[in-house]
Structures are given as structure tokens and as C-alpha cells.
Amino acid sequence: MTGVGLVGYWPLFSVLCISHHQNGRSLYCARMQPGEEFVLAYIHSVNRRPVYDTLRAAGDHLVIVASRFDSFGAGMPDGSDGRLSVAPDGWLVYRVERPTPEIVVRVGRVAEHTLHIKGEALALTQLAPPGSPLRLQVARVTILDFIKGRCVACR
């Protein structure tokens, strides 16, 4: 095999991969540049209000950047640690900046989990039925896998 042929098998692209947490099957893959952000939106289970969690791709992991929400309630940050501010639009912003290797989300029955990425919105119920645990992580894939639409590094 030539050096050019080997390049197709070298993991070059960083991607956001969503896979089934229990069986590892890849369900969604999107190319991500370091520092690129996306949002996971949902309806909070207690106060029934929208929450927008901003996440960032950072090398081989994710960073939980911040949460935006419009009202306080049980299970919501209260700002006692000083990381809560009010945005110009009146929404509350809780700065987190916490690195994590992955995020596991159980697709909600009423939460309407929606991934906002690259100008698109993807309801997680399009990937798996409610109750399914999904893993979000940054992975590296080869050129060939990316061209073929496979996200094998997430398995």
C-alpha cells in the first residue's frame, strides 16, 4: 500500500458522534473544528421551561460551556456561586466551562431534546426512541469513514 493509500485510513477528522450508549451503534456524525460550539435544547423536567446547553468541541473531549434558561425553579442553578448572569435579552446564563469526555442523554418523552448544530436542528427522537440513552462525544475518523458517512470511532 502506498503512502497516499494509507492517508485514507489515518484518523484525520474530528467529529461529534452520537451513539447508542448501551450498544455503541453510531447514529449521527458531524465534522467539528476545535472550538466549534453546538446547543442541546430541551424542556426542563421540573419547571417545564426551555433550557439551552451550549457545548464546545475541544480536541478529544467536550466542554460544557453554559446553560441558558428563562426562569428559576427546582433543579436550576440559583447563582449562589457567582456564575449566573442576565443576558441582554433577559435570559439567565449560567457559565460552566467544564470539560468532560462525553455526555449521556436519555431521550426524553416530553423533553423534546433537540441538537442545534451547523444551522440545523435535529430532534433526538429522530435518532432513537424516547427512553434511549445516547452518548455525545468527540471522536476522530478517517477520511474514508467520513466520506462513507460512518462514524466508526464512536463504537
* pLDDT tens string 107-132: 998 999 999 999 999 999 999 999 99
Could you tell me which residue, 73 or 15, shows the higher pLDDT?
15
Amino acid at 136: L
Residue 2 CA, distance from chain mean position: 37
Residues of 5-25 as b/e, b for ≥16 C-beta within 10 angstroms?
Answer: eeeeeeeebbbbbbbbbeeee
Grid cell digits, residue 24: 455503541
Q: What pTM value is reported for the model?
A: 0.85
Nearest residue to 53 via CA among 125, 136, 127: 136
Amino acid at 52: Y
β-strands 61-69, 50-58: how paired? antiparallel
Residue 152 and residue 17 in contact, taking contact as beta carbons nearer than 8 Å: no
Mean pLDDT of all residues belonging to the chain = 86
Amino acid at 24: G
Grid cell digits, residue 4: 497516499
> What is the torsional sign of CA 19, 31, 51, 95?
positive
* pLDDT tens string 20-54: 988 878 899 898 999 999 999 999 988 889 999 99
